[in-house]
Amino acid sequence: MSELRGAYTALVTPFDEAGGRLDLPALDRILAAQAAGGIRGVVPCGTTGETPVLEPGEYRTMVQHTVEVAHALDMEVIAGAGANSTAHAIANHRLVAELGSDAALHVAPYYNRPSQEGLYAHFMAIADSADLPVVLYDVPGRTGVRIAPETVHRLAGHPNIRGLKAAGGSIDDVTEVLLGCDLAVLSGDDTLTLPMMAVGARGVVSVLGNVLPVVISDLCSAVQESRWADARDIHLRSHPLASALLSLDANPVPVKTAMELAGQCIGSLRLPLVRPERVVREKLAELMDPFGAVICREAVEA
């Protein structure tokens, strides 16, 4: 895998209207839109991908199909492979390596909430299990456990541990990580991409990228090229919608709704997630209105 840097999109998983089957033609259209929008890579089967409700065969199909299509479009793939069982996470890790992923995203074990020593042992066992880059995923609001910067520093010594998706909402934690190692940090919160990159993060794994890939790509490019005024402008323009996608309802309810409003046929959600109330749809439509021309252009290009 090349250096982790730039704009990656945390993909939604498209289902048919009944939520009963994966919709692979819809996935093809999503991936084409990502490539047209300048996205460097995609992340299937993460939080935004409703991974807990995928059957094992669906998980394999989603990763395999994404790898095949994304690579043909010259995009990287970081497949979500995390689990709260170390043995299950290792099995997933080996599977996505076999399927051709460029890296694997591993969330901190959720619900069982291990100690920092437990987290260290968990991630080291995964990194030892296959010759595939590991991207750590710190999202304590989902998992109930934080990967402390000191633990990240210890893990960074393993040659297969290459990055950190930081979704803890703390610039201080990102700064502490960067002070102690040279691991590639990617923002896991769209609203914090600019401030995280300002202190040294190298990009983002974006939810907003599903709707506006070119905006996320442009933001990362502006920072990389030290066009700070442009980056600030993009950040301020996109912040209300980015915030709404993660606050109006549980992810990925708002982003799937936004994609539907943008004319993308991605089907339904799977229980226990349900369609949002009318007020959520109205708010998203209002926030998307300023980007109408961009949304329409990306839909045509895809």
pLDDT tens string 51-105? 999 999 999 999 999 999 999 999 999 999 999 999 999 999 999 999 999 999 9
Are 89 and 97 in contact, with CB atoms under 8 Å apart?
no
Residues of the chain with pLDDT > 90, as a percent, come to 91
3-state secondary structure 210-240: HCCHHHHHHHHHHHHCCCHHHHHHHHHHHHH
Place of tokens 């323009």: 237
Tokens found for residue 195 = 């401030």
Among all chains, which residue has been given the structure tokens 């750590």?
Answer: 136
Average pLDDT over residues 235-249: 97
137 carries an active-site annotation: yes
Q: Tell me if the bond preceding 272 is cis, omega within 30° of 0.
A: yes
Can you tell me the distance from the alpha carbon of 279 to that of 239, in angstroms, rounded to the nearest whole number? 19
Task: For the chain, list the domains and their CATH numbers.
Answer: 6-301 (3.20.20.70)
Active-site annotation holder among 8, 59, 120, 137: 137
User: Is 165 considered catalytic here?
Assistant: yes
pLDDT tier, 264 (very low <50, low <70, confident <90, very high otherwise): confident
The residue written with tokens 């994404």 in the block is: 66
Which helix (H) or strand (E) segment holds residue 207: the answer is none
Nearest-10 crossing angle of helices 292-301, 24-36: 110
Q: Tell me: the pLDDT tens digits for 73-83?
A: 999 999 999 99
Q: Which residue in the list 59, 120, 165, 256 is annotated as catalytic?
A: 165
* pLDDT of 302 above 70: no
Instruction: Give the residue from 28, 59, 24, 32 showing the smallest Cα distance to 45.
Output: 59
Task: List all residues 6 or more positions away from 182 whose beta carbon is below 8 Å from its beta carbon.
Answer: 156
> Residue 300 has what pLDDT?
42
